[in-house]
Homo-oligomer: A and B are copies of this chain.
């Protein structure tokens, strides 16, 4: 690609020789030859251009490259956004022969769209529909009666259960599981958790556990992405649903009957328990846990590691375990840091008050336990 073409693709300003050929974007320190395009969108990286072998670079607005080192460079504004354009221009999609691999097991009545790629040993079940241009790598399992929209990308080892529906351009990373059964059981009489919630005590014993089968499905809307080894359980009766353009990271658990809105970010190792409803544009940072049967309002952001146990209003920023408004969580945190001071201050006051009492009322000694006795 010519530097001028890239400038156009990124909507960037071009300085210097636009005819330069750029072949791969690299860290300035790793540039090895003339085709290497140095990414120097932070001040510390600009300095590295002094010694870099790169003859071309990408800089942010206002940065000044070292004199005489570059033959040409691009100037971008929001550097993180420019990265998206750069990685699109130089993308490296999975290497895969076109067409349907002869070892793949595609059901006779499956409907495979035009230009679909299917890798080795992949299984596509009876009555399943795969939209045009979808790329399905090796070792994928797609059950019966499933639907994949056009332009999906399904990585190796992903499992798509019977009747699961994927919209257009859905991406599943390796070993993601869409449609395992929900974790749903019941005891004939109220069980230990039910009594513990009601009375705080275990007053029943879970001796006769009965399974509640999941006969529902999962729907992933257009442009959803699901990370490696993440699991989206099927609904009991209806569908577990992930809204358009929502992005889910690796090792995330989405329980049965959960509904997630559009444009959400669900980071790695988040767990969302059954029947919970997540609004649009919600961000759940890494390792967040969300209880069952609750609601998180639109545009809320939940800090990493938080445990959400009750309804969250829209546009909230919550943190902690149990999660509360971030400002409250932070205030409580700051006060716990002052506990030692408070404890000692209390001790001093106690002595002073005793002295004052002694002064005002000679002989009336009071019996007080020492702090240490308390535990």
Instruction: Report A's interface with B, CB cutoff 8 A.
Output: 24-27, 30, 39, 78, 80-81, 83-84, 87-88, 90-92, 94-95, 103, 105, 119-121, 123, 125-126, 137-139, 141, 143-145, 155-157, 159, 161-163, 171, 173-175, 177, 180-181, 183, 185-189, 192-193, 196, 200-202, 205-207, 209-215, 225, 227-231, 233, 236-238, 245, 247, 249-251, 253, 255, 263, 265, 267-269, 271, 273, 281, 283, 285-287, 289, 291, 299-301, 304-305, 307, 309, 315-317, 321-322, 326-327, 331-333, 335-343, 345-346, 349-350, 352-353, 356-357, 359-361, 371, 374-375
B253 touches A251 (CB 8 A): yes
In the complex, the answer to whether B229 meets A175 with C-beta atoms within 8 Å is yes
State in angstroms the CA–CA spacing of A227 and B236 once bound together: 16
The CB with the most chain B CB atoms within 10 A, among A157, A205, A307, is that of A157
CB distance from A13 to the nearest CB of B (A): 17
CB neighbours (8 Å) of A335 from chain B are 336, 339-340, 343
Question: Do A139 and B121 have beta carbons less than 8 Å apart?
Answer: yes
In angstroms, Cα B371 to Cα A212, docked, is 47
Q: A157-B159, A175-B177 are in contact. List 7 more A-B contacts (CB 8 A).
A: A155-B159, A159-B174, A196-B301, A209-B245, A269-B289, A352-B353, A352-B357
Given contacts A200-B327, A212-B83, contact A263 B206 (CB under 8 A): yes
- Distance in Å: Cβ of A303 to nearest Cβ of chain B: 9
Taking a contact as CB atoms under 8 Å apart, the answer to whether A137 and B141 are in contact is: yes
Pair B255/A231 contact, Cβ less than 8 Å = no
Across-interface contacts of A189 in B (CB, < 8 A): 78
Q: Tell me, in angstroms, the Cα distance from A332 to B322 when the chains sit together.
A: 13
Instruction: Tell me how many chains of this kind the complex includes.
Output: 3
Q: Which residue of B lies closest to A326 (CB)?
A: B200
Return the contact of A307 from the options B103, B186, B305 (Cβ within 8 A): B305
| 13 chain-A/chain-B pairs, Cβ below 8 angstroms | A87-B212, A92-B162, A157-B177, A183-B250, A193-B301, A196-B301, A206-B281, A229-B231, A229-B251, A231-B251, A253-B269, A345-B371, A360-B360
When chains A and B are docked, how far (Å) is the Cα of A162 from the Cα of B92? Answer: 9
A25 touching B237 in the complex, CB below 8 Å, given contacts A186-B80, A249-B183, A251-B231: yes
Q: Tell me, in angstroms, the Cα distance from A143 to B360 when the chains sit together.
A: 85
Q: What 7 pairs across the A-B complex have the smallest Cβ distances?
A: A95-B144, A335-B339, A341-B374, A141-B156, A180-B228, A87-B213, A159-B174
| Set of chain B residues within 8 Å of A346, measured between Cβ atoms | 342, 345-346, 349
Please, which residues of chain B bring their CB within 8 A of the CB of A177? Answer: 157, 173-175, 228-229, 250
One of B201, B250, B285 near A233 (C-beta < 8 A): B250
Contacting residue for A175 out of B123, B175, B281, CB 8 A: B175
List the B residue with the shortest CB-CB distance to A153.
Answer: B181
Contact, CB under 8 Å: B332 / A337: yes
CB of A206 within 8 A of CB of B265, answer yes
Query: A95 contacts B237, CB within 8 Å?
Result: no
Contacts of A78 in B (CB 8 A): 186, 188-189
